[in-house]
């Protein structure tokens, strides 16, 4: 807009000083970069081309075809006061957008197939408005005001608006509670509050709109409770500019009405920011690159998918010109099952009880994962809905006549590879620890196809009488899986998952 104000200043100067007026003529206006877009050109002012030093300006400015006062007409002289008022306007494009009258002076690229087009125009000021009905995803419309005092080429720059959804991945065993890692996938315990973040990068053309309403459409998986703990704010780089106020600035709703600008439908809830433009102030105006962020949490509940299926959450944003593509994140949770067997006969062994513990790095101690699992006839013990991390299996009740096994430490280690699959399936892969001298613990997957699917199973042997530990080991126990995976002695298997997200067209 500074450039436009400078143009107006030059125009006003022409009204006050004598200039070398040039012959009235028409010029070629070339608009490039117009593929998939249609534009209407509106004539605001006309005038005579004059030279002011090395600059071409307009003198004898008159109203154009598409802009004139209520009681005036095209070709009436423009008062000096109107031009001076425009100099003080922060948004001339928005002003003219409300003032234009009649049919467009010209229509450019009506079928959207051209990459550039030339039209002949009289000397003057013109507004070029994007009137594309169906924009490519993530693009917005733009409005340009320019002076034509010679043959002129303008490059159409399609402003874009983009959005992302992320989930914060925390591992109690390795990370501090305050550390944040926004990414496309995460794993959590059932019962955890999972943090989500929705981000939209605002279009560079925000100033050209009268108002700018944004609606985040969020679709949660069935494995999550209703969202809560909302925070909405505008950020520039690493600096927070504004905290938005619920109800006054934004509204959260369980209703999911589809705006006319969106082709998608169906969501769990919406967050509507009534007018992004109104949040800014004269002291803190909008800058290209500013982002609007929504954060919330949702509890992973007992209906969550365990293992490979994952729990998807998707989001898209509806804006005045259309919508952004959907973005999807995935939250996984795991299952561990151990079978108690006699070390000699390999038969199921009753009378045992186990407590699963997880290492908490922040508190530097082991913490029980629920209560002890114990029972007279129970021979298989299952922990479902557990997070990645460092675990210890403790035999807290030993069958009569058998030795208590040494504690078993193992790791469910999450590696986020963010690989996209069209079919929505998620896989896990096993990775052998680098140090083969570590205590041997092998968990094999329950999937009959031999794929690791996040449901881990192994056998725990108990022996009667006295059993000495093997040389060099501190109480080695091998958990043998039910799948076709080989048991590798003297190695620790870290159960690792590939996180996959689904791009929904």
Q: Which of 233-237, 327-331, 447-451, 481-485 has the highest mean pLDDT?
A: 233-237
Confidence of residue 130 (pLDDT cuts 50, 70, 90): confident
For 265-308, write each residue's pLDDT tens digit. 678 999 999 999 999 998 999 998 999 999 999 999 999 998 87
pLDDT of residue 433: 36
For the segment 357-374, the average pLDDT, to the nearest whole number, is 90
What φ, ψ does residue 82 adopt, rounded to 5°?
-65, -45
pLDDT at site 212: 92
Q: Determine the length of the chain.
A: 505
User: pLDDT digits over 409-425, tens only?
Assistant: 877 765 544 433 333 44
C-alpha closest to that of 250 among 223, 226, 267, 230? 230
Range(s) of the chain covered by CATH 2.60.40.740: 162-332
Beta strands in 169-268 (DSSP E): 182-183, 185-187, 193-201, 214-219, 228-236, 239-243, 250-253
The model's pLDDT over 68-79, given as tens digits with 9 standing for 90+, comes to 888 888 989 998
Least confident range of 59-68, 79-88, 173-182: 173-182
By mean pLDDT, which of 30-39, 288-297, 432-441 is the weakest? 432-441
pLDDT at 279: 96
Contacts 24+ apart (CB under 8 A), 323-327: 323/137, 323/261, 323/262, 323/263, 323/264, 324/137, 324/138, 324/161, 324/162, 324/163, 324/200, 325/137, 325/138, 325/163, 325/503, 326/264, 326/503, 326/504, 326/505, 327/163, 327/164, 327/165
d(CA 114, CA 268): 40
The predicted-structure confidence for 440-454, as pLDDT tens digits, reads as follows 454 555 555 544 567
| pLDDT band at residue 488 under the 50/70/90 scheme | very low
Stretch(es) of the chain classified as CATH 2.60.40.10: 334-501
Q: Is 181 helix (H, G, I), strand (E, B) or coil?
A: coil
* pLDDT level of residue 14 (50, 70, 90 thresholds): very low
Which residues of the chain are in CATH 2.60.40.2190 domains?
Answer: 2-155
Q: Is it the case that residue 146 has pLDDT exceeding 80?
A: yes
Q: Would you state the pLDDT for residue 452?
A: 54
pLDDT at 177: 61
CA distance 422 to 356: 36
pLDDT for res 431: 35
The residue ranking higher by pLDDT, 153 or 200, is 200
Q: Which of 102-106, 166-170, 196-200, 480-484 has the highest mean pLDDT?
A: 196-200
Lowest mean pLDDT among 129-138, 300-309, 435-444: 435-444
pLDDT at res. 261: 55
Predicted local confidence at residue 299, as pLDDT: 98
Model-level pTM?
0.68
CATH architecture of 2-155: Sandwich (2.60)
pLDDT of residue 383 exceeding 70: yes
Question: Do 119 and 29 meet the contact criterion of CB atoms below 8 Å apart?
Answer: yes
Say what the pLDDT of residue 7 is: 44
334-501 has CATH 3.40.190.10 classification: no
Q: Which range is least confidently modeled, 77-91, 297-311, 325-339, 363-377?
A: 77-91
Average model confidence (pLDDT) for the chain?
78
pLDDT, position 276: 97
**Two structure tokens written together for 232:** 């909405």
How much is the pLDDT for 83?
A: 77
| Tokens 């010679």 belong to residue | 150
Structure tokens at 451: 């794929």
Cα–Cα distance for residue pair 38/43, rounded to 1 Å: 17
Look-up of token digits 């925070």: 231
* Least confident stretch, 14-28, 293-307, 373-387: 14-28
pLDDT at position 437 over 70: no
State the average pLDDT over residues 209-215: 89
Count CB atoms within 10 A of the CB of residue 472. Answer: 8
Lowest-confidence region among 16-20, 26-30, 190-194, 231-235:
16-20
Residue 86 clears pLDDT 80, i.e. is over it: no
Predicted local confidence at residue 444, as pLDDT: 53
Whole-number pLDDT of residue 418: 41
The encoded tokens of residue 228 equal 């809560």
493-501/408-420 β-pairing: parallel
Amino acid 264: pLDDT: 62
* pLDDT for 13 beyond 50: no
Q: Please state the rounded mean pLDDT for residues 118-142.
A: 84
Q: Is the pLDDT of residue 362 over 70?
A: yes
Question: In angstroms, what is the C-alpha Rg of the chain?
Answer: 33
Percent of the chain with pLDDT strictly greater than 70: 74
Query: In terms of CATH architecture, what is 162-332?
Result: Sandwich (2.60)
């Amino acid at each position: 807009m500074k450039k436009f104000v400078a143009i107006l200043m030059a125009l006003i100067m022409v009204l006050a000083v004598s200039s070398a007026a040039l012959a009235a003529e028409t010029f070629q206006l070339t608009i490039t970069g117009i593929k998939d877009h249609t534009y209407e050109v509106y004539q605001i002012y006309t005038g005579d081309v004059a030279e002011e030093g090395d600059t071409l300006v307009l003198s004898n400015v008159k109203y154009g075809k598409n802009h004139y006062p209520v009681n005036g007409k095209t070709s009436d002289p423009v008062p000096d006061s109107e031009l001076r008022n425009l100099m003080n306007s922060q948004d001339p494009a928005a002003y003219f957008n409300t003032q234009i009258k009649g049919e467009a002076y010209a229509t450019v690229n009506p079928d959207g197939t051209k990459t550039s087009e030339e039209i002949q125009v009289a000397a003057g000021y013109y507004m070029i408005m994007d009137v594309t009905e169906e924009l490519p995803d993530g693009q917005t419309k733009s409005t340009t005001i320019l002076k034509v005092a010679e043959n002129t080429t303008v490059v159409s720059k399609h402003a874009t608006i983009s959005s992302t959804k992320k989930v914060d991945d925390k591992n109690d065993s390795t990370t501090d509670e305050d550390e944040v890692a926004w990414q496309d996938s995460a794993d959590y315990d059932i019962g955890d509050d999972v943090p989500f973040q929705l981000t939209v990068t605002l279009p560079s053309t925000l100033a050209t709109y009268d108002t700018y309403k944004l609606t985040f459409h969020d679709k949660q998986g069935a494995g999550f409770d209703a969202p809560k703990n909302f925070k909405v704010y505008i950020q520039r780089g690493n600096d927070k500019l504004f905290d938005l106020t619920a109800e006054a600035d934004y509204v959260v709703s369980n209703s999911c009405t589809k705006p006319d600008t969106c082709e998608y439908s169906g969501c769990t809830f919406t967050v509507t920011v009534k007018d992004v433009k109104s949040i800014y102030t004269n002291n803190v105006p909008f800058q290209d690159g500013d982002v609007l962020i929504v954060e919330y949490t949702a509890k992973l509940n007992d209906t969550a998918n365990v293992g490979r299926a994952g729990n998807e959450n998707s989001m898209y944003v509806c804006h005045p010109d259309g919508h952004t593509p959907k973005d999807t994140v995935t939250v996984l949770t795991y299952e561990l099952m151990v079978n108690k067997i006699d070390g000699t006969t390999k038969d199921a062994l009753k009378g045992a009880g186990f407590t699963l513990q997880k290492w908490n790095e922040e508190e530097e101690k082991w913490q029980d994962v629920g209560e002890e699992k114990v029972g007279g006839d129970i021979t298989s013990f299952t922990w479902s809905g557990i997070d990645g991390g460092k675990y210890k299996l403790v035999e807290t009740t030993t069958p009569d006549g058998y030795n208590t096994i040494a504690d078993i430490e193992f790791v469910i280690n999450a590696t986020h590879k963010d690989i996209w699959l069209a079919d929505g399936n998620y896989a896990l892969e096993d990775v052998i620890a680098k140090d083969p001298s570590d205590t041997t613990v092998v968990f094999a997957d329950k999937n009959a196809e031999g794929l690791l699917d996040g449901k881990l199973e192994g056998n725990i042997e108990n022996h009667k009488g006295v059993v000495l530990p093997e040389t060099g080991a501190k109480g080695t126990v091998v958990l043998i899986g039910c799948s076709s995976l080989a048991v590798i002695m003297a190695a620790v298997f870290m159960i690792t998952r590939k996180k996959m997200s689904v791009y929904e067209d």
